Homo-oligomer: A and B are copies of this chain.
């Protein structure tokens, strides 16, 4: 018989090997398999051309056989099996064809919800409260017990902006009724009913593609050019230098400069278009995986509070566990809750959490036909269960640490010297990024990685961002690291 101490040791060992072998998703491929001499191969190129007859195909990376894709592995039209470290732009949490999710999809409740999509604001289902209480409310950010569901990331962010505008105006009006002048002027998009208010965003931020959210997006010109925008302000995001400890003084200075610019902007716009809200991502993703310190965000909240500006934390890309905490902004240890936290992507459901104090004054102010989607709420609930059962948030922090340390070691090797630079994302789970010296080299890296059987995404001008699923394990990390080393050597 084993002693208690030995049993404990065995359990520890089991727990460790659980984290280091591909046991979180049985049945997925053991390794990538590339069959064609280019990726995409001929079948992928043909499939893309066929779509191109009716839809813009120029951003196609791969045409995917989703039926064959499994776990961390995506299978393309040519039958190539690639380790997917991009995961539908950070939107798949627990693996392709996850059996628990497929089982959910086959239930009567899911089928009815899919085919009788309700107008949730007026005709919610008898099961709606239960789905939310046992799902999305279980993971509500601290202090935010209200949830407004939406259709996508853009509408989640714009919904939060609208909520901020409504609350800002209601506060300015002292909670009084709308005046006749306000009710009439708003029909002409004119003041006072339609107020000149603004949302402040930070340069490099990405908050969506609709006309309001796009006005706060400051990622790349190609996202914005030729589309009218609100004349809203932007302030610089800190420009941290890596490694962080080498540049501690510079980094503190850039954060202070950013905070000062935020406050100066708020003050400067008070008589033009007062800033009702600031929106910021915990990690600027599309803009190049740019980080700032928890202290920066705590100070940012103080500046906003001082000027009565609402704080919108855009967790569309960072939420749902992949940064090693369920919400990335948990790591800031804010002394009090943010006002709005938005989500989409990995959650599959979309929307924003808020406080009861920002519920609009009147019905129908925050409203649309669908106001979300019950099947996405069901899916989010099931994923939350899986994340809890398998302890995937802690797992992601562990694996992310392994990837970070491995890349840190790699960048000191000769093969990566001067090529793998600005490594960042320490302590942010698997949300790790690095730069290559030029945009062209980054593009070449992403392309060559596919031939090595790894689907990875770029961001910013010259960055590579890792966005694996929560079921990404050490064995996958090793495959990714070996491919990275090989491709860097060939560049």
A interface residue numbers (CB < 8 A to B): 47-48, 50-51, 53-56, 58-67, 69, 74, 77, 88-89, 91-92, 96-98, 101-102, 104-106, 108-119, 121-126, 128-129, 132-133, 137, 145-149, 151-155, 158, 161-162, 165-166, 168-170, 178, 182-184, 186-190, 193-198, 203, 208-213, 215, 218, 221-232, 234, 273, 344-345, 348, 359-360, 362-370, 375, 379
Contacts and interface: CB of A to CB of B under 8 A. Distances in A.
Contacts of A117: 88, 91, 348
Nearest to A375: B114
Contacts of A51: 124, 128-129
A186 B105 contact: no
Contacts of A344: 369
Contacts of A226: 165-166, 168-170, 186, 193-195, 365
A132 to B, nearest CB: 6
Given A115-B105, A119-B88, A221-B187, A152 B210 contact: no
21 contacts: A51-B124, A54-B132, A54-B137, A58-B362, A65-B125, A89-B119, A91-B117, A91-B119, A91-B370, A102-B111, A105-B115, A152-B369, A155-B155, A169-B225, A186-B224, A189-B229, A195-B228, A209-B368, A211-B230, A223-B364, A223-B365
A75 to B, nearest CB: 9
A226 B366 CA distance: 11
Given A126-B47, A363-B59, A228 B225 contact: no
Nearest to A276: B228
B153 A154 contact: no
**Residue from A108, A148, A151, A196 having most chain B Cβ neighbours under 10 A:** A151
A333 to B, nearest CB: 25
Nearest to A60: B122
Nearest to A145: B54
Contacts of A169: 225-226
Contacts of A365: 222-223, 225-226
B212 A211 contact: yes
Give the copy number. Answer: 2
Nearest to A158: B210
A108 B58 contact: no
A372 B36 CA distance: 30
Given A65-B126, A97-B116, A189-B231, A368 B154 contact: yes
A379 B194 CA distance: 39
A129 B47 contact: yes
B122 A97 contact: no
A135 B194 CA distance: 41
B227 A194 contact: yes
A450 B184 CA distance: 33
A212 B210 CA distance: 7
A184 to B, nearest CB: 7
B114 A56 contact: no
A88 B373 CA distance: 13
Contacts of A105: 105, 110-111, 114-115
A114 B373 CA distance: 12
A364 to B, nearest CB: 5
A458 to B, nearest CB: 11
A267 to B, nearest CB: 19
A77 B213 CA distance: 37
Contacts of A124: 47-48, 51, 60, 63-64
A208 B168 CA distance: 22
Contacts of A186: 221, 224-226, 229
Nearest to A64: B123
A47 to B, nearest CB: 6
Contact of A116 (B50, B92, B115, B210): B92
Given A165-B228, A194-B229, A212-B212, A221 B119 contact: no
Nearest to A351: B55
A207 to B, nearest CB: 12
A114 B155 contact: no
Contact of A232 (B187, B189, B348, B366): B189
Contacts of A198: 228
B152 A211 contact: no
A66 B125 contact: yes
Contact of A228 (B114, B183, B197, B363): B197
